[in-house]
Amino acid sequence: MNETDFIPKPYLNHIESGDFTWSSPSNIALVKYWGKKQDQIPENPSISFTLDYCKTTTKLSFSKKENKEAFSFDVFLDNEKKDDFKPKIETFFKRIEIYLPFLKDFHFKIETSNSFPHSSGIASSASGMSALALCLMSIEKEFVENISDEFFIQKASFLARLGSGSACRSLEGDLVVWGKHDEIDGSSDLFGVKYPFEVHQSFKNYHDTILLVDKGEKQVSSSVGHNLMYGHPFAQQRFEQANKNLSSIKSILKSGDLNAFIGLVESEALTLHAMMMTSMPYFILMKPNTLEIINKIWSFRESTGSKVCFTLDAGANVHVLYPENEAVSVLKFIKNELVIFCQKGEYINDKIGFGAQLIKVE
């Protein structure tokens, strides 16, 4: 597949109005994407667990308009008009217009809500952009009736990527790869694909408790962070390392070697933050409590033999990952020893999920 395969033939059907609602989950990367080329092409492949509880639900209503010169849309978060979201969506529409030529024909109302609190420090861009991309694909399906399910998801992921890179990994579950890798069949820089190989029972139903260490706005956005990988002194080594880690995780996921999984996942998280700390200008997104939690997890593992581990995204919150058979003991540990490091004691219990869902068919 290449970009031009996503440009549709002239539409034959006519549509006046309607609405679609999709919910789409967040995801947490095990091998991280950090650094991109033009048009949201990743510098290295990544793999993520799709989440279950943390998700965005978006209703997209559309009605035909007269003036076809410009985009026209309103955005609402929890029923409140959000004009500050508009520039990001306008940029998204501009990028995808060539792939969805109907965008200027309609006025859109985008009504969105998140299952997690808005000010939780959890990025809603992956779940938000993938939910919106799916709603747009549902409209395209009205124009082109014979779109296959496979193409529908592929193109939705392709479009979501153009909204926010990691969003392309949020459509399916439970493991999704994005970025071309020689040893992963079907992998592509253009969209996410379901991890195509055998996965050991130990990784089924994996848990992710998200400790909300800092619920404020990030000081450095991920787009600024990605850009700082241009000319970064360790960039090439990092991209090579991510490729190698993707090869390694294949055998780890197959064998269920949880010790190797811990080593790879924690190293990826710390490497991501090391890239931030060694960018120019440098920055730190971890907070003192992030480190307190990491140290507590290490001592808990040391004293109990638990297979709990952590990962981080581009922020201070800690994702605590653990297998299903340790759910009771790790949750007890979290409540007894980690919750004190969370802002207002807040955390979210999540686990691996299986992707987006169409909520309402018009």
Contact footprint for ligand PMV (CB under 6 A): 29, 32-34, 46, 123, 125, 164-166, 222, 226, 272, 313-314
Half-sphere CA count of 74, side-chain side, radius 13 A: 7
Handedness of CA 232, 168, 248, 204 (dihedral sign): positive
**β-bridge mates for residue 106, sequence order:** 64
Question: Closest CB to ligand PMV among 110 and 160?
Answer: 160
Tell me the C-alpha distance between 197 and 13, whole Å. Answer: 39
Question: Closest CB to ligand PMV among 57 and 222?
Answer: 222
Question: Closest CB to ligand PMV among 311 and 343?
Answer: 311
Nearest to 38 by CA among 93, 95, 88: 95
CB 112 within 8 A of CB 128: yes
Least distance (Å) from ligand PMV to the CB of residue 336?
29
Least distance (Å) from ligand PMV to the CB of residue 221?
8
Least distance (Å) from ligand PMV to the CB of residue 266?
15
Question: Closest CB to ligand PMV among 46 and 188?
Answer: 46
Question: Closest CB to ligand PMV among 166 and 306?
Answer: 166
Least distance (Å) from ligand PMV to the CB of residue 40?
8
| CA 179 vs CA 65, 167, 186, 244, 245: distances in Å | 38, 13, 10, 13, 13
CB 52 within 8 A of CB 324: no
Alpha helices in the chain (DSSP H): 86-96, 125-143, 149-163, 222-227, 235-255, 258-277, 288-304, 327-333
Least distance (Å) from ligand PMV to the CB of residue 232?
15
